[in-house]
Chain A
Amino acid sequence: MGVMRMGYAHVRVTDLAEAKAHYANTMGLYETHAEDGRVYYKGWDEWDHHSVVLEEGGVGVVKFGWKVRYSSDLDEIERRAQAFGVTVERMSRGENPEIGDGIRFTTPSEHVFEVYHEATLIGTEVGTHNPDAFPRHLVGVGVPGLDHALITAEDVKGMERFLTEVFDFYATERVQTSLEDDADYIGTWMTSNNQIHQLAVIGGPQGKLHHFAFKLGDWSEVGHAADLFSMDDVPIDVGPTRHGITRGQTVYFFDPSGNRNEVFAGGYLAYPDRPVHVWTPEQLGKGIFYHARELNDRFTTVLT
């Protein structure tokens, strides 16, 4: 069974025109659709119809979409979510433009998840027939696609159990109050495959977004992105730096509505049988920001 990836992040923005300038001109996403105060985007190396949805009004996350490999996965996840005690509703084709039938539920962390199996195939910008390595005329950062998100929850351990039991995710890294068996969890980084994390959860208020991230290739692309953020007056939160957790290279920054974005490169290959990396709170600074080795005052407080 399987969730393949986070298919889309659907977020709120206070000013759609400014948000469009950021996501299209600075990030370099391709607009694929627009209707009633919503704009749909994909990265150049994504093939499904969209991976980012902007909705005018407010800030924060509306919902996340998760694409599964087989249609039977929808039934299995529905069954597992119900067994966990979560109310699941059916979602029909077209409720989200170009997305097929699926299910929808609110997680114990009070985030809305949609799970689907079909999305309209647009194709990558380089195609599949003797494809070039990248499109010739990328705009701005030119991100290839969506990578992962970090959300907050009051009960991190409960969310890890939920994602394990319902999505068959496994933890690659964790922040724990101690190394004891009865330790509480402060953060967990989870995936279904070799990607180092698809969704991370840290302790905090219910239903909030810490950031969602776009993938990049390497350090130099991360540095180049940061240069472009300065040129475009994008507020940089942190970086370029490395995360101790995941080993990824990163810049945190804010979109024009104050939603935190990230560009993320690297990260080692995850395997379910690889022993989980465990961080303890006094080393959390190094875990999050490997070079500064201390958290800034925004990491745990600035959420949308």
Chain B
Amino acid sequence: MPNVTIDPTGEVIWLEPEETVLSGLFRAGFAYTVGCRRGGCAICKVDCLAGTFGYNRRVAESVLSADERTDGTCLSCRAVPQTDVTIRLREGDLRMVNPYLRQINERARQRAEALAAAQPASGVTSKE
């Protein structure tokens, strides 16, 4: 249940297990530049500054080059964080479109953190 921190605003978004970065941000009320939402168009790339993530589907070579697979480029509609991650949007165009979802997500994050604090060191296994 990783958190996504958005650089540089410091917004923190809580993700469901196995949830993609794009899905998490939209579910928390935000919007940014996306296209197909299905890993095909490469428009939704963000940069991952900290933390690790994997892809929940094969991603086409034409969408993500070999270099981009190691330089922190994060195809957000297919990227599933394995740890807490910090991302930076490329166009700097994070838009709040639904503040109610934002509040719900913030409460969920706080609940998850409280729960984690109450059950220390259960060990987080990263998913492939």
Contact = CB atoms under 8 A, between A and B. Distances in A.
A12 interface: yes
A257 B43 CA distance: 14
A298 B44 CA distance: 11
Nearest to B36: A258
Interface in A230-277: 235, 237, 254-260
A106 interface: no
A256 B37 CA distance: 9
Interface string A262-304: 0000000000000000000000000000000000011001111
A290 B84 CA distance: 44
Interface of A (DSSP majority class): loop
B41 interface: yes
A303 B57 contact: no
Interface residues of A, number: 22
Given A235-B38, A255-B38, A301-B35, A14 B58 contact: yes
A59 B35 contact: no
A237 B61 CA distance: 23
A258 B62 contact: no
Contacts of B41: 258, 298, 301-304
B38 A302 contact: no
A257 B58 CA distance: 10
Contact of A298 (B43, B59, B61): B43
A270 B36 CA distance: 32
B39 interface: yes
A14 B62 contact: no
A258 B39 contact: yes
B18 to A, nearest CB: 16
B60 interface: yes
Contacts of B36: 235, 237, 254, 258-260, 302, 304
Interface string B50-68: 0000000111111100000
Contacts of A298: 35, 41, 43
B33 interface: yes
Contacts, number: 65
B72 interface: no
A2 B36 CA distance: 35
Contacts of A102: none
B33 A297 contact: yes
Nearest to A56: B58
A254 B43 contact: no
A235 B61 CA distance: 22
A14 B57 CA distance: 8
Interface centre among B36, B37, B39 (most CB of A within 10 A): B36
Contacts of A254: 35-38, 40
A58 interface: yes
Nearest to B41: A302
Interface string A22-61: 0000000000000000000000000000000000011110
B38 A257 contact: yes
Contacts of B39: 14, 59, 257-258
Contacts of B57: 14-15
21 contacts: A15-B57, A15-B58, A57-B60, A60-B40, A235-B37, A254-B36, A255-B38, A255-B40, A256-B38, A257-B39, A257-B40, A258-B35, A258-B37, A258-B38, A258-B40, A258-B41, A258-B63, A259-B36, A298-B43, A301-B35, A304-B62
Given A257-B38, A304-B40, 20 more contacts: A12-B60, A14-B58, A14-B59, A15-B57, A57-B60, A58-B61, A59-B40, A59-B60, A59-B62, A60-B40, A254-B38, A255-B38, A257-B60, A258-B37, A258-B38, A259-B36, A301-B35, A302-B36, A303-B41, A304-B41
